[in-house]
Amino acid sequence: MAIDETKLQHEYIEKCRQLITANGGAPLTYHVTTFGCQMNARDSEKLSGILKEIGYIETPDEESADFVIYNTCTVRDNANQKVYGHLGMLKARKKKNPDLCIALCGCMMQEESVIEIIREKYKFVNLVFGTHNLYKFAELLYRSLTSSSQIIDIWKDTDSIVEDLPVDRKYSFKSGINIMFGCNNFCSYCIVPYVRGRERSRDPKDIIREIEQLSRDGVVEVMLLGQNVNSYGKGLPDEMSFAELLKEVEKVEGIKRIRFMTSHPKDLSDELIEVMKDSKKICRQLHLPLQSGSDRLLKSMNRRYTKEQYLNLVDKIRTAIPDISITTDIIVGYPGETVEDVNETIDVIRKVGFDNAFTFIYSKRTGTPAASMPQLDPAFVKEQFNRVLTAVQEEADKRNGKLLGCIEEVLVEEINEHDAAMLSGRLSNASLVHFKGDAGLIGQLVKVRLNEAKGFYYIGEMIE
């Protein structure tokens, strides 16, 4: 099916190209706004690739774009509210310019309640589709361009993975690569399995083929993406573990750095730790979501590990890879959480000493088990959130600057946004480094002496 589907979508790309060039005039422009995670960012690169193949020109200015796309996130309620806010502003533009094309896609569109709101309040939106049929974007766009009606096409699930469609990468030297889609974990607070569907792993041959092409194009760093990369390979005709896939990726010549996310603690294997320990390319960084340090809440969250198991896993990782940077996610304000539960979380923060933590206030997501539980008083949640945030910052401060005075390899990513004479890049452990240098170094790995530690970043000096 995938080969036929790829051919079909390329045919629709050509049909769209003929449509938008039929009347002559200046090329049409587009702007994609991405909300949410790295998976969404990668999806936006696919949308952009298809649009450029059709003949649209990207513009950084949404206000002047002929085609506006919002690739949405729904992990937290405020992400939904942002989208509605943007749509409110677009409504006025659409009245002035009826030819303005507007599309909505991504995780938020997989919620039935959202689609009802769009049908009722945002009838001016031209095209709406979800996460499962993104590969049909050219076909859906053709339908929209040849219709005066609003096109809404949402699938509840899919088992299809379609290869070899256009991609427009944001960076020339680094790239995300989907190795799997969907999630089977059903954490009680999380909407992702409902909007991304069940786990589907890509064929390893297709992954390696894509990475080899990226290497030929000059990419030196790849980020392997999945909701839970540690469960990669389950269900493939010839099962392959994530650790085995990493070994194959490491063989690709030209690739200097390998990153991945996200890892679920319950599935992180001894085999993976060994592969990371022995690797010359896998970055010294691991994102390992904790969510809570309370066994009672972890059980309610359906995380399927305990506080002790998490701490033992971290000890095992740090013993094998002493220089690794460990970051995490923490939720505060989950239904039923008490001061004692928060104390347990802070205890884990103190014992692990995370290099950084993304700390969130629990956001009720309709359709998840946690949404039907009694919700906490916002004032109490805010107080506990501040306690957790303080603990995270104190522990991170102890670890930040541990490489002060060292000479480390930095992947140069961009000109510093505050000082055009400076460049910015990242270490293997993902720490940010700023140093003086020429823009021609962007995309290269250079040696930098780390002279000053400034919290979450270093000021350095390039070594010739």
Q: What is the 3-state secondary structure (H, E, C) of 191-246?
A: CHHHHHCCCEECCHHHHHHHHHHHHHCCCCEEEEECCCHHHCCCCCCCCCCHHHHH
The confidence band for 325, taking pLDDT boundaries of 50, 70 and 90, is very high
Burial 73-103 (b: 16+ CB within 10 A, else e): bbbbeebbebbeebbeebeeebeeeeebbbb
Which pLDDT belongs to residue 3? 54
The confidence band for 77, taking pLDDT boundaries of 50, 70 and 90, is confident
Mean of the pLDDT values across residues 70-76? 88
* Each residue's pLDDT tens digit, 330-372: 999 999 999 999 999 999 999 999 999 999 999 998 889 999 9
Tell me 427's DSSP state.
-
pLDDT over 90, % of the chain: 84
Which pLDDT belongs to residue 162? 85
**Between the ranges 33-37, 305-309, 417-421, where is the mean pLDDT highest?**
305-309
pLDDT at 197 over 90: no
Neighbours of 368 (CB within 10 A): 18
pLDDT at 169 over 60: yes
* Each residue's pLDDT tens digit, 268-281: 999 999 999 999 99
Mean of the pLDDT values across residues 400-414? 94
Nearest to 276 by CA among 323, 231, 233, 309: 323
pLDDT at 35 over 50: yes
pLDDT at 282 over 60: yes
Tell me 282's DSSP state.
B
* Each residue's pLDDT tens digit, 94-103: 999 999 999 9
Nearest to 37 by CA among 192, 218, 157: 192
SS3 content of the chain, % helix, strand, coil (to 5): 40, 20, 40
Which pLDDT belongs to residue 277? 97
Which pLDDT belongs to residue 164? 84
pLDDT at 329 over 60: yes
* Each residue's pLDDT tens digit, 42-61: 999 999 999 999 999 999 99
pLDDT at 2 over 50: no
Whether this prediction's pTM lies above 0.85 is answered by: yes
Q: Which two tokens stand for residue 404?
A: 């002060």
pLDDT at 160 over 90: no
Q: Which residues pair with 151 in a beta bridge?
A: 127
Q: Are 173 and 218 in contact (CB under 8 A)?
A: yes
Q: Identify the three-state secondary structure at position 327.
A: strand
Separation CA 81–CA 90 (nearest Å)? 14
The distance between the two most distant Cα atoms of the chain, rounded to a whole number of Å, is: 68
Which value, to the nearest 10 degrees, does the dihedral of the CA atoms of residues 291, 297, 301, 307 take? Answer: 60
Q: Are 282 and 246 in contact (CB under 8 A)?
A: yes
Tell me 56's DSSP state.
-
Q: Which two tokens stand for residue 441?
A: 């170094």
Separation CA 184–CA 194 (nearest Å)? 10
Which pLDDT belongs to residue 1? 43
